Amino acid sequence: MSTVKQPHAEQFTSREQQSFAGTFGMWVFIASELLFFGPLLFGYLYLRVHYPEASAAASRHTDYLLGTSNTAVLLTSSFLMALAGHAAESGQRPRAMRLLWAVAALGFVFLVLKGWEYHKDFQENLFPGPGFRPEHGGRLQQLPGMQLFFILYFVATCLHAVHLTIGILVCLAMAWRLRRPPPVGVSADAIEYAGLYWHFVDVVWIFLYPLLYLVGRAGG
Amino acid sequence: MTVPFHVLPADGAASATRLDSLALCLLLLTGAVALGVLVMMIVFCVRYRARSKADRSHVPSRDLPVEIAWTAIPMLLFLGLYAWGAIDYAALYRPDPAATPVFVVAKQWMWKAEHRNGRREVGQLHLPLGRPVRLVLTSQDVIHSFFVPAFRIKQDAVPGRYTSIGFTPSKAGEYELFCAEYCGTEHAMMTGRIVVLPPAEYGRWLAEGPRQPGMAARGFALFRQYGCSGCHAAGSSVHAPDLTNLLGRRVHLQDGREITADEAYVRDSIYLPRKDVVAGYEPIMPSFAGQIGEEDLLAIIEYIRESGHDPSTERP
Amino acid sequence: MTRPQSDLSLIEEGDTRPGRSYLSEGWTLGSWLGTRDHKRIALLYAASITLFFFLGGIAAALIRIELATPQGDLVSADTYNKLFTAHGVIMVWLFLIPSIPSVLGNFLMPMMIGARDLAFPRLNLASWYLYMLGGAIVLWALLAGGVDTGWTFYTPFSTMFSNSHVVLALVGVLVVGFSSILTGLNFIVTVHTMRAPGMGWFRLPLFVWANYATSLILVLATPVLAMTLVLVAVERLFQVGIFDPALGGDPLLFQHLFWFYSHPAVYIMVLPAMGVASEIIPCFARRPVFGYRFMAYAILAIGVIGFLVWGHHMFVSGQSVYAGMVFSLLSFMVAVPSAIKVFNWTATLYKGRISFSAPMLYALGFVGLFTIGGLTGLFLAALALDVHLSDTYFVVAHFHYIMVGGSVMAYLGGIHFWWPKITGRMYSEAWGRLAAVVIFAGFNLTFFPQYLLGYAGMPRRYHSYPEEFQLLHVLSSAGAVTLAIGYLMPLGYLAWSLRYGRPAPPNPWQATGLEWQAASPPPVHNFAQLPVVARGPYAYHTD
Amino acid sequence: MEKRTRPLVLTWLALLVLLAISAGTSWLRLGWINTAIGLAVATVKVVLVGLVFMRLRVTHPLLRLTAVAGLTTLALLFILSGADYATRSEVPAPWQHPSTVAPRLGR
């Protein structure tokens, strides 16, 4: 906690209470978000059980290199986010600010890589629907399963990208508002909440990565 | 009101009476509880109304034995009711080898049925009295639900798979058939008529009607037409499993699983041959998805079923 | 007894001036639409859900008029399908789910635990805006031509076959869903972090317990619905499908995911109602609620087991027989804590000093109707019986007993009970009692015949029906007219009391909750000084 | 390297190593074990992120309870829905190709 005695919102009786309520609220939100991805994960389980070969074939159509580098980018951004939280907590606002810019930049890199990957997917006719025509491989009877895989792929990654975009905007806003000290600017608590959210977005990707990119890589 | 109303629909199936007694039992039990609660509430409300001078000393704020009693007793009663309901439920789904199969295909907004000898009907269904029947249902579009109140049975017809339910008609007559799962504009008009006939009459009904090849016979023709016989017939040069008497047999699969070869399995094997490959065979069969329609498929399945029996003794 | 405490050095003076009621803070539009006061937000909710209740009610009225005759002669089949869909969507998502938590819970929870507001007042206001946005989108979908899928949106009908505005309705429900998640989050954090000094968990009023359990369900189940609806919308928009067998999917997957939310949603609707009854009954029986701890545990048990029983909606859907057996057993188990609650309410009347004010009549009506609704649930939990009864009017009657007989009755009881606190006015007691009796009678006349219809085999969602069912349908429609009159009555006399009602004292019922310590209507931040709690709730004495 | 941030740096390095493990092993032909490794590694990564980056290691038990509550509810969805799929005797079969049946017209 910073050494300055900070004011608190009128519904609370102390700064500590407010700070804890914020962190707890963020965790409840994260628990809720986790369930939000539940149907996708269960749908994925359904797919893998019912169409094991098709989902492996479909997974081979995703871009291994881009997926892996994006995972590294996101893990690193999470690390920088954790550093930013520490910096803000110990009152090093300029350092926290720089780190937040870096986090946002890495998030942006992720989105660019992801967008490039989407572009390639579209070119390879991997977007589900009437135009779904994966090149090389993909026998006729595997098409329904492959298509299901790509529905889940697109829905899950799009939702993840939406979450990430929100995270980037929050980071930018925080970095901007860090220019000024707490009563006007942003408090270390707020950075902590933003960090929790960012890490959660990272956690989602950590699970999506092996499920979407690594199935049947070795050939089927 | 020209038609008299009965709370209890006619009991047209063997299981209906049994079900009514379960309902009656539940009604007595829950009625007793509801009445008990109601009486207690009224008694307390009158006796302890604000202006009464009833004795109010020793007001209990909690009473552990009482609480435990009214937790444990309902729980035990519930377990008994659960078991009764579950046993009867399981009976509806246990396949009876002697049961006459009837295929029902639902579509917006009508019921189509096909009997084993190929006799088809739309919007009505003839059944033999006193013989166990097993309905095999599927749907061509959305989910429908086959509901005959007089038999106390209901089963959803789900597109893309088979569901089934068994029962034994116990009283000759005509009964109403409803679609119970909302299926679109004409949901309320998707009704039909169930006609239960004594076995002899049913046999006659089955034999007359539009002359068309029996379902199994049609299935045999299709079996050759689509080239199935090229590999699966005895003495074929291709190494493919013999399908005689396949239905109901346990099948060992290549990946170690063991499953019962039912209609869904045969259907899967035709549309998705690589899904369940039989142990000891190469996955060489091509998929027939998109080539064989649903009704043709039912006919082929029926041919495979019949192939295990001596046709002369099986015909009704 | 509570006693004032002077640990307020961190609060600025201006905010704690006693006496200025939250209503006198200004009547400009901005003072309402920009408010962060939980009490004002509660009133915003009250106004909006009342609007939606009557919209849903109009749809219900048209349905009942149509069903008075066997032929579908008043409206076309398509219109009928759109009417019952509109009725279901509006009543479930726009009325019942927000009703007690967002109105009474919002107003009372902070006061009951001795707090100045919810933990996140701005989030609270944002929830209301999301709710209104979602409600507006749903209304748009209904006005643009309607939706004919039923509120359950079963696939593949909703994805491939319906020609109505399904996606728009899905988006509306999705947005409303986020509103309830945020409300639930706010409540959970508030109960955990903002209880007044001395307010331990087992000193919480049962209403707070009930809303807490409800919030858990809101936060943990609603996102599953949201994602499922997204998948349905994606299927519909792109003609692909994980729920469509034509494309390799499974319609039962949708049913599992849908009911994973929508069964617990029933408890979202009824748990707060139980909380309301648990406040009213001890107050008018003048004695502590019987078995407080059992009541609290039962609330939690219902909340938790409620998550495990969704498969009982799918006994005839083609679900595995074994899964059906598991779900049936669990469904019987969830009836146990519900039974405990009914017995405890009844025992609370024993040796009380009972007066029959309007809120008490509503609460007693709630207990009676909830008991019938709960007990008929056992018929539906029994597997073999459900094969006959599912998707018939028996089910319709059952859930209306729980959701209308239970939740709406309790909601009205709560509105009457806390009306003096909320508005600072007393309503007409005679009218209140009369309305309670009319609603109770009208409700039973409407829905009891539907049990008989269901057992006789009348399927639900039928636009026309065989003639033998007409007698009971006519009875039911007659009951609906009575019920409609009953629901219009409170609207009239409560509105009248706003202007002409006699000013309410701070504690007209001599109730013991912390909310009654504040003035009527309460000041902006509820308590000039935060109370210190020294004993449990319901410290009533019969003498 | 600052003492306070050392755990963060170590965690980051561990995460990258774990990423390399899952990315690398995916090229070995192990069948279902590939997915098992992928998920196991992901779980370890998530535990690391949760305990260190999200500070669950040092935080109030209530927050840990919240995380567990979310996971438990997700598990309920998987277990009970999975119970149906695991015991359903008639597995859903793929529907016939849409071209052979015009859904609204039938045959």
Residue with the two structure tokens 């319709």: C396
Can you give the pLDDT at residue B281?
77
From residue C88, alpha-carbon distances to C92, C180, C307 in Å are 6, 18, 22
The 10s digit of each residue's pLDDT in C80-100 is 999 999 999 999 999 999 999
> Could you tell me the pLDDT band of residue B7, with boundaries at 50, 70 and 90?
confident
Question: Does residue C48 surpass a pLDDT of 50?
Answer: yes
Q: Is the pLDDT of residue B221 over 70?
A: yes
Running along chain A, 220 residues long, what does each successive block of 10 average in pLDDT? Answer: 62 88 95 94 92 87 93 96 91 90 96 95 85 69 84 94 96 88 75 94 95 82
pLDDT, tens digit (0-9, with 9 covering 90-100), for C492-525: 999 999 999 999 999 999 999 899 988 889 998 8
Q: Minimum mean pLDDT among C25-34, C62-71, C177-186, C504-513: which range?
A: C25-34
Q: How far is CA D34 from the centre of its chain?
A: 14
pLDDT given at position B36: 92
What is the arithmetic mean of pLDDT over B129-136?
90
Give me the pLDDT at residue D106, please.
Answer: 25
Q: How far apart are the first and last CA of chain A?
A: 54
Cα–Cα dist B259/C51, whole Å? 57
- At residue C5, does pLDDT exceed 90? no
pLDDT score, position D89: 65
- Confidence at residue B276, expressed as pLDDT on a 0 to 100 scale: 76
Find the helix packing angle between D61-87 and C321-349, rounded to 10°.
Answer: 130
Q: Residues 6 or more apart from C531 whose CB is under 8 A from it?
A: C2, C3, C4, C5, C114, C196, C514, C517
- Cβ–Cβ contact C342 with A under 8 A: no
**Do C468 and B30 make contact, defined as CB atoms within 8 angstroms?**
no
Write down the pLDDT at residue C278.
96
Between residues B61 and C203, the one the model is more confident about: C203
Q: CA nearest C58: which of C25, C82, C29, C27?
A: C82
Contact B49 C465 (CB under 8 A): no
Task: Look at residue B3 in the predicted model and tell me its pLDDT.
Answer: 62
Mean pLDDT, residues B170-180 taken together: 93
Q: Is D97 on the interface with B (CB under 8 A)?
A: yes
User: Is the model's pLDDT at C295 over the cut of 80?
Assistant: yes
Which CATH superfamily hosts domain B215-314? Answer: Cytochrome c-like domain (1.10.760.10)
In the numeric block, which tokens belong to residue D64?
A: 């840990």
Per DSSP, B165 falls in state E
Which residues of B are less than 8 Å from D92 in CB distance?
158, 160-161
Torsion of CA B281, B287, B292, B298, to 10 degrees: 40
Picking from B140, B269, B295 by the largest number of D CB atoms within 10 A of its own CB, the best residue to mutate is B140
Residue B33 has pLDDT above 60, yes or no: yes
Task: Provide the 3-class DSSP secondary structure of residue B122.
Answer: strand
Domain spans, chain B: 9-35+79-212, 215-314
Which helix (H) or strand (E) segment holds residue C208: the answer is: helix C206-238
- pLDDT digit string (tens) for B137-162? 888 889 999 999 999 999 999 988 88
Q: What CA–CA distance (Å, rounded) separates B270 from B274? A: 9
Residue B114, pLDDT above cutoff 70: yes
Tell me the average pLDDT of chain A.
Answer: 88
Amino acid at C127: S
CA-CA distance, C270 to C295, in Å (whole number)? 14
Q: Are C162 and B184 in contact (CB under 8 A)?
A: yes
pLDDT over threshold 50, residue B312? no
Question: Between residues C339 and C25, which one has the greater pLDDT?
Answer: C339
Residue that the structure tokens 């999917």 belong to = C249
Question: Minimal Cα distance from D95: which residue of B?
Answer: B160
CATH 3.40.50.300 fits domain A41-213: no
Of D8, D34, D53, the CB nearest to A214: D34
- Which residues are bridge partners to B136 per DSSP? B103, B164
In this structure, is the dihedral angle defined by the CA atoms of residues C146, C147, C148 and C150, taken in order, positive or negative? negative
d(CA C414, CA B112): 53
Query: Chain centroid to CA B189: how far?
Result: 21
What's the pLDDT at C200?
92
Statement: residue B118 has pLDDT above 80? no
Q: Residue holding tokens 């379902």?
A: B215
What CATH code would you report for C34-517? 1.20.210.10
- Tokens (6 digits) for C84: 């019952």
Predicted confidence (pLDDT) at residue B262 exceeds the cutoff of 80: no
The share of chain C scoring above pLDDT 90, in percent, equals 81
Task: Give the residue from chain C lying closest to D96, CA to CA.
Answer: C246
Q: Which residue has the higher pLDDT, B94 or B31?
A: B31
Q: What is the model's pLDDT at position A184?
A: 65
Q: What is the mean pLDDT of residues C420-448?
A: 95
Mutation site for B-interface testing, chosen from D95, D99, D104, D105 by largest number of B Cβ within 10 Å? D95
Residue C12 has pLDDT above 50, yes or no: no
Q: Determine whether the interchain pair A46/D85 forms a contact, defined as Cβ–Cβ distance below 8 Å.
A: yes
Residue D106 contacts C, CB cutoff 8 Å = no
Q: Is A54 on the interface with D (CB under 8 A)?
A: no
Binned at pLDDT 50, 70 and 90, residue B301 comes out as: confident
Task: Answer whether A63's CB lies under 8 Å from A115's CB.
Answer: no
| D 6-35 → C contacts, CB under 8 A | none
Residues 6+ apart with CB under 8 A from C488: none
The predicted structure's pLDDT at residue B217:
75
**Sheet with B100-107, side-by-side order of all strands:** B120-122, B110-114, B100-107, B133-139, B163-167
In the beta sheet, which residues pair with residue B121? B113
pLDDT at C400 (0 to 100): 96
> Does the structure show a pLDDT above 70 at B106?
yes
D93 vs B268: CB contact, 8 Å cut-off? yes
Measure CA of the first residue to CA of the last residue in chain D; give whole Å.
Answer: 75
Pick among C255, C300, C319 to test the D interface (most D CBs inside 10 A): C319
Alpha-carbon span C90 to C147, nearest angstrom: 12
CATH class given for the domain over B9-35+79-212: mainly beta
- Pairwise pLDDT comparison (C2 vs C163), residue with the higher score: C163
- C17 CB near a chain A CB, below 8 Å? no
Average pLDDT over residues C199-222: 95
Q: What is the pLDDT of residues A204-217, one digit of tens each?
A: 999 999 999 998 88
CB-based contact B96:B134 (threshold 8 Å): yes
> What contacts C379, CB < 8 A, 6 or more positions away?
B23, B26, B30, C385, C386, C389, C394, C398
For residue B313, pLDDT over 50 is answered with no
pLDDT digit string, tens, across residues D9-56: 999 999 999 999 999 998 888 888 888 999 999 999 999 999 999 988
Distance from CA of B19 to the nearest CA of D (A): 25
CA distance B163 to chain C (A): 6
Cβ-Cβ contacts under 8 Å, B287 against chain A? 140-141
Q: How is B96-118 classified by DSSP, letter by letter?
A: PTTPEEEEEEEETTEEEEE-TTS
pTM above 0.95, yes or no: no
* Of A191-205, B150-164, B251-265, C369-383, the least confident: B251-265
Q: What mean pLDDT is reported for chain B?
A: 83
Secondary structure of chain A in the HEC alphabet?
A: CCCCCCCCCCCCCCHHHHHHHHHHHHHHHHHHHHHHCHHHHHHHHHHHHHCHHHHHHHHCCCCHHHHHHHHHHHHHHHHHHHHHHHHHHCCCHHHHHHHHHHHHHHHHHHHHHHHHHHHHHHHCCCCCCCCCCCCCCCCHHHHHHHHHHHHHHHHHHHHHHHHHHHHHHHHHHHHHHCCCCCCCCCCHHHHHHHHHHHHHHHHHHHHHHHHHHCCCCCCC
Q: Provide the pLDDT for residue A141.
A: 66
- Residue A85: CA atoms inside 13 Å, Cβ hemisphere, count? 24
Sign of CA dihedral C200, C206, C210, C213: positive
Instruction: Tell me the C-alpha distance between B117 and C180, whole Å.
Output: 57
Instruction: State the Cα–Cα distance between residues C173 and C147, nearest whole angstrom.
Output: 13
